Structure 1
């Protein structure tokens, strides 16, 4: 996710062998077994740097926030993540700054880079876990598992995943029950610079499919289909004739409000404009593919239906 304006718990205890009773020595300071346990557990827990907003969310969901010694600028949720030392934008990392935090592991997605920096971090002896970003539910599962391994909280990660899997099955069933013709939607990304629209192989395109929407810019078998993002043109938007426009709250703020958003050339000639059918959600929440994905799909589905009512 490209955005310069991105300004977006359950504790685990390790098991230890019982310590033998200490002999009383006059004047000696003796730690209780509980204190020794706590100190040893803290010392053993891996230090983590997260370079993905989604993996940072999972760190907090696992109650491992005390192990988080740094995060990237897309790590905006929960609010506490804003207070962690920042290592820059995930695609523009610096090995020197990141390694200065002395992490045991770096976690994120394959979108992190540059590759030369990732190689430098590995060469320094830091474990690097990068999950492939393919915009599927499996991506979320792999992120949870990776964070569980990196933080030494595998059991907690398995429990979290079971909970999320149940939520995922429920939201997919809810969307499927709606049935009928799918509304046509266009996703506009515009946090800075020229607005862009989403094609295939993007998080936004995948979200449309999960939420019961069709990407109006993509026609099965058409030579005009495209992958990734491209510049938004009035002609393309008019031809796509979307029923609803989906964007981010950051994009609405960047342009100066909903009224200004609808003034973008071409939108006034779309079916969406006639209804003012617009859905705006937080960028990390909508296309971050983190542990809140089931709720994000449910919200996109319901908000789209409401906008078209």
Structure 2
């Protein structure tokens, strides 16, 4: 059974919500291992035209550069633009099947830092498929560096540098709109609320990065990555706003469920019923659309307080 066939059952059973969770997971702090173990090159072979993209932001960058014709497959976190969905899906970026990747006969792989598992990478190494690992960092410079790294990898450095400069300018402009805000909102990013247990973002994550870019403060700073919080920790954090991915189906968290949680109810966010929902990849992708996401989040946090 091919990887693509095996994924169909998962997709049918879990629908949009499950896909959004898979989209988020690689946007946490990248774990050790994965492609860091692979033999890395700075660029794919000259003229590489059968490229597999592993990482939603990498796929977005290739489309933004007008280099989408090189793509022969993408991973399951690559949900934008819509046209990318017509490409074969080689699986989730941290659970790649080497058979799925090799089935499209690639002459190169562009993969976001943290992809894997190591066993899959070892098989791809033995198959002598050139691989470029694209660094991931959750700040403005990280996005610029990602774009230039992709351009270098595909032999289009000048095109990528021009686009990176535009994106850098857009990010600077987006950050400036909250420059005059004095009372910074404390934001609690909640990944899930399974069984009433709050799984929330600390530092070192994409959620932390986007909150800071939009002029907010992460309400949780005592740890890195994502962890379950005790009720006491939530109440002590006193967030002004809850931020969540906009989901559908079984993984959605409605407002009654959220604000009836005793810990949330004891915070300013709960008392004032303040919640912001945004598309997961748009909010946390740290790619070409991040400047727009920063503006959207800032407007929803501060409204008339910001400078347009």
Q: Which interval holds the TM-score relative to the shorter structure? A: 0.7 to 0.9
Quote the offset at 1:253 in angstroms. Answer: 6.9
Q: Residue 139 and residue 252 in structure 1: after superposition, are their counterparts in 2 closer, same or farther (change >3 A)?
A: farther
Stretches of structure 1 lacking an aligned partner (at least 5 in a row): 9-42, 219-224
Quote the offset at 1:279 in angstroms. Answer: 1.1
What residue is the counterpart of 1:153 in the other structure?
156
Distance (whole Å) between structure 2 residues aligned to residue 292 and residue 192 of structure 1: 30
Stretches of structure 2 lacking an aligned partner (at least 5 in a row): 1-16, 24-45
- Equivalent pair of 1:51/1:106 in contact (CA under 8 Å): yes
Q: Residue 168 and residue 256 in structure 1: after superposition, are their counterparts in 2 closer, same or farther (change >3 A)?
A: closer
Matched, 1:273 2:291: no
Distance (whole Å) between structure 1 residues aligned to residue 160 and residue 115 of structure 2: 22
Q: Give the greater-gyration-radius structure (CA).
A: 1
- Equivalent pair of 2:137/2:143 in contact (CA under 8 Å): no
Q: Residue 179 and residue 105 in structure 1: after superposition, are their counterparts in 2 closer, same or farther (change >3 A)?
A: same
Matched, 1:130 2:133: yes
Distance (whole Å) between structure 2 residues aligned to residue 164 and residue 192 of structure 1: 37
Tell me, what secondary structure is at the counterpart of 1:160? helix
- Equivalent pair of 2:240/2:268 in contact (CA under 8 Å): yes
Quote the offset at 1:203 in angstroms. Answer: 1.0
- Equivalent pair of 2:203/2:220 in contact (CA under 8 Å): no
- Equivalent pair of 1:93/1:114 in contact (CA under 8 Å): yes
Matches within 5 A, 1:111-126: 111-126=114-129
What residue is the counterpart of 2:98 in the other structure?
95
Distance (whole Å) between structure 1 residues aligned to residue 238 and residue 266 of structure 2: 8
What residue is the counterpart of 1:180 in the other structure?
182
What residue is the counterpart of 2:259 in the other structure?
262
Distance (whole Å) between structure 1 residues aligned to residue 108 and residue 144 of structure 2: 19
Structure possessing the higher relative contact order (Cα contacts under 8 Å, 6 or more residues apart): 2
Tell me, what secondary structure is at the counterpart of 2:111? strand
Which residue of the other structure, out of 54, 60, 63, is the alignment partner of 1:60?
63
What residue is the counterpart of 2:238 in the other structure?
241
- Equivalent pair of 1:46/1:104 in contact (CA under 8 Å): yes
What residue is the counterpart of 2:19 in the other structure?
5
Distance (whole Å) between structure 1 residues aligned to residue 143 and residue 187 of structure 2: 24
Task: Using structure 1 for the length normalisation, give the TM-score.
Answer: 0.78
- Equivalent pair of 2:189/2:244 in contact (CA under 8 Å): yes
Q: Residue 307 and residue 95 in structure 1: after superposition, are their counterparts in 2 closer, same or farther (change >3 A)?
A: farther
Q: Residue 100 and residue 66 in structure 1: after superposition, are their counterparts in 2 closer, same or farther (change >3 A)?
A: same
Quote the offset at 1:108 in angstroms. Answer: 2.4
Matches within 5 A, 1:23-102: 44-102=47-105
Task: Using structure 2 for the length normalisation, give the TM-score.
Answer: 0.79
Query: What is the alpha-carbon root mean square deviation over aligned residues?
Result: 2.6
Which residue of the other structure, out of 273, 290, 302, is the alignment partner of 1:305?
302
